[in-house]
Amino acid sequence: MKKEANSLIDSHCHFDFPPFLDDPGHYLLEAQKVGVSMLIVPAIGRSNGEQIASLSETFAQIRYALGLHPYYIHSHCDNDLSWLETALAERDDKCVAVGECGLDFAIENPKNEQQLYLLEQQLALAEAHNLPVILHCRKAHNELIRILNRFKGVNGVLHAFSGSYEQGKALIDRGWFLGIGGTITYERARKTREAVKKLPLDAMLLETDSPDMPLFGYQGQANLPSRLPLVAQMLAQLKQQDVEKVKHQTTQNSRRLFRLDKK
């Protein structure tokens, strides 16, 4: 019975951050033991694009995305967009998305205009290369929707969904998925828990955002891909559905969005 358990995909895991590179094989094995068989590792920028690509060559469980993360807006250089353009044009099969990109107006001196420009350019690249997008968004929901309205041919996932029902529905109505992670393990996240109860499971992906976003009960520790089943359990509990069904559906969703069956 156990052997037939659904395999899970951690759709957002920064596996090139500490502590993982100290012993990546160990962390992947721990994840595998609880059924997490694949990790999607987004880039934060040019600085780690090559490293995550080489991780995907070494470890069969790893897929990756290339993009310029808005949180690091102060580190990106003028020619990083042309780097991204070239890297996407020369990508291998393990590169499954553009990301992580988006808007983060919660940082100090967010350079809003530059963030909006970089996001637009990356959505255009995703469209040109027919790739899904991994989005990050903080304190910029309305601006995000306005931009997505102009890129109707592009979809992807809003990772670390922590919004309301209305915010989630606005994305799903536009063909986007929601990345469900540690937020829902916190009782105080009442608005997001209520949203997740009502929004459709077939628009949800599971993620840990490791090593960030520790789950309830693990505060202060590095988050791990091996904790993904705990997110599935909480999602099943909130939606009052069988956990195996939740695991199966969310894995199918990731496979569909990132077109993993072809790779």
Report the interface residues with Zn ion, using CB under 5 A: 100
Closest distance of CB 63 from Zn ion, Å: 15
CB closer to Zn ion out of 10 and 100: 100
138 with 105: CB under 8 angstroms?
Answer: yes
Closest residue (Cβ) to Zn ion? 100
Closest distance of CB 104 from Zn ion, Å: 11
Closest distance of CB 240 from Zn ion, Å: 29
Cα of first residue to Cα of last residue in the chain, in angstroms, is: 27
CB closer to Zn ion out of 24 and 165: 24
223 with 211: CB under 8 angstroms?
Answer: yes
Gap between the Cα atoms of 2 and 102, Å rounded:
39
Closest distance of CB 27 from Zn ion, Å: 17
Query: Cis omega before residue 211 (within 30°)?
Result: yes
CB closer to Zn ion out of 211 and 229: 211
Gap between the Cα atoms of 165 and 255, Å rounded:
24
Closest distance of CB 65 from Zn ion, Å: 10
Q: Is 150 left (phi over 0), alpha (psi -120 to 50) or beta?
A: alpha
CB closer to Zn ion out of 80 and 100: 100
CB closer to Zn ion out of 15 and 148: 15
CB closer to Zn ion out of 100 and 104: 100
Dihedral pair phi/psi, residue 177, rounded to 5°? -105, 160
- A 10 A CB-CB count for 212 gives 15
Closest distance of CB 118 from Zn ion, Å: 16
CB closer to Zn ion out of 6 and 176: 176
3-state DSSP helix/strand/coil % of the chain, to nearest 5: 50, 15, 35
Q: Which residues in the chain belong to E strands, given as ranges? A: 8-10, 36-42, 62-66, 95-104, 133-138, 156-158, 177-180, 204-206
Residue type, 140: A
Closest distance of CB 12 from Zn ion, Å: 6
Closest distance of CB 136 from Zn ion, Å: 6
CB closer to Zn ion out of 80 and 104: 104
What's 17's DSSP letter?
S
Q: Could you tell me the two tokens for 228?
A: 């993904």
Rg (CA), the chain: 17
